[in-house]
Amino acid sequence: MANIELKIDLFEHIGTSLIVSWPSNVFYCNQTGGHCCLQSEYEGILVPIGNRFSYTEQKLESPEVDLSDYFCGPPHRGQGATYEGLSNEDVDFVNSVLQKYRLDNSLSVNLEKLSSSHEAWIYMWLNDLVNVGPYYNGFAPYPREAVLTWENSD
């Protein structure tokens, strides 16, 4: 039986997700990079993280909200972090969002891939899935490369 590669577009996906590096033959594609409309893709397994819907307030509580507000506003002037990659200021902000949603023990920004990271597509290290939720296991050994993604602003 031949290996079949599958491609899943996340263009209408709502909330933050982690694409965990895994030889799955499934490639996730998302429009990223703000107004540059890059077509980023990565092989792995999609893990939704940090997303909750508040029925009382009728709104999404998610790192996506904080990250989208940041990359659509200053210092990116609504353009998103694009070809120039992420700055140290961007990394500090992402780290603060991870801490706010209690994901900072499980995830860290991959500092070696800052130049390849941009709005809606940030290379991460998955250190474990303990704080992400009890539903995910079997991804060891850690650390494992992953991509944090959400809906692009454009």
Count of positions (residues) in the chain:
154
The burial class, CB within 10 Å (0-12 / 13-18 / 19+), for 123 is buried
Task: State the chain's maximal CA–CA distance in angstroms.
Answer: 51
Percent of the chain clearing pLDDT 90 (strictly above): 40
The ranges assigned to domains in the chain are 6-149
Q: What is the pLDDT of residue 127?
A: 85
Cis omega (within 30 of 0) on the bond before 63? no
pLDDT, mean of residues 4-25: 89
pLDDT at 45: 93
Q: Tens digits of per-residue pLDDT, 73-114?
A: 777 666 656 667 888 999 999 999 999 999 888 899 999 999
| Angle, CA of 101, 13 and 50, to the nearest 5° | 10
Give the pTM: 0.88
